[in-house]
Amino acid sequence: MQNREIFISTDIESDGPIPGPNSMLSLGAAAYLADKTLLGTFEVNLEFLSGASGDPDTMKWWAGRPEAWDACRKDLKAPAEAMKSYVEWVNKLDGTPVFVGYPATFDFMFVYWYIRKFGLESPFSFSALDIKSYSMAVLGTPFRGTTKKNMPRKWFEGLPKHTHVAVDDALEQGALFCNILAANKSGR
């Protein structure tokens, strides 16, 4: 791989707060260069993990989003097959992959757990870049005060809508991250 970094904005949807007892339902990713060039996308819906079950609070949340639920329950793949495809997609990109998430702690936890569970090597090692934390540093704000509603509106101009469909949300948060990168470089 070359030295250029490729920011792999990855979003997952799940039926609960932790991998293992709960399942990852879908995984979407968008590969961006720092200049916001979109190199490609990846999306897959996963079958439930054997022995896992949906968290009652999360399932109540899903009940209010039937379109997003339906979207993540189509064309299901076995988790091992889904993760192998994701890792292969990342590894084919011409650059050094950097996992980017909002919040990275949630999405990366599921992705890394699934990668290791199914005997694969993580193309990201065991690190991820959190958009909220990066925003905190750029804005000089306290972490708890660094929320989307307190971020500059120009960072959100032209972004796709947040739909809770993993690939849509990966595109949105990847574009947001690139906008923050540009603002930081320009000093604005």
CA 88 to the chain's CA centroid? 17
Angle formed at CA 104 by CA 148 and CA 49, multiple of 5 degrees: 125
Residue extents of the structural domains in the chain: 5-186
Domain spanning 5-186: CATH superfamily: Ribonuclease H-like superfamily/Ribonuclease H (3.30.420.10)
8 Å CB contact between 131 and 173 = yes
pLDDT above 80 (res 187): no
pLDDT at 26: 98
Return the percentage of the chain with pLDDT > 90, whole number.
94
Q: What would the mean pLDDT of 39-67 be, rounded to a whole number?
A: 98
* pLDDT higher than threshold 70 for residue 29: yes
Report pLDDT digits (tens) over 132-168: 999 999 999 999 999 999 999 999 998 988 999 999 9
Residue recorded with tokens 């707060």: 17
169 vs 100: CA distance, rounded Å: 12
Return the higher-pLDDT residue of 160 and 100: 100
* Backbone phi and psi for residue 116, each to the nearest 5 degrees, phi listed first: -70, -40
Task: Identify any residues that bridge with 28 across adjacent strands, giving them in sequence order.
Answer: 11, 43
| DSSP symbols for 98-159 | EEEETTHHHHHHHHHHHHHHTT---TTTT--EEHHHHHHHHHT--TTT--GGGS-GGGGTTP
H or E stretch at 162: none
pLDDT score for 161:
86
Q: What DSSP character marks residue 36? A: -
What's the pTM value of the predicted model, to 2 decimals? 0.94
Residue closest to 35 by CA, chosen among 154, 181, 169, 188: 181
Give me the pLDDT at residue 174, please: 97
pLDDT > 70: what percent of the chain?
A: 98
Per-residue model confidence (pLDDT) at position 160: 86
Q: Each residue of 76-88: pLDDT tens digit?
A: 999 999 999 999 9
Sorting pLDDT into bands at 50, 70 and 90, what band is 188? low
Structure tokens that stand for 106 in this block: 């949630």
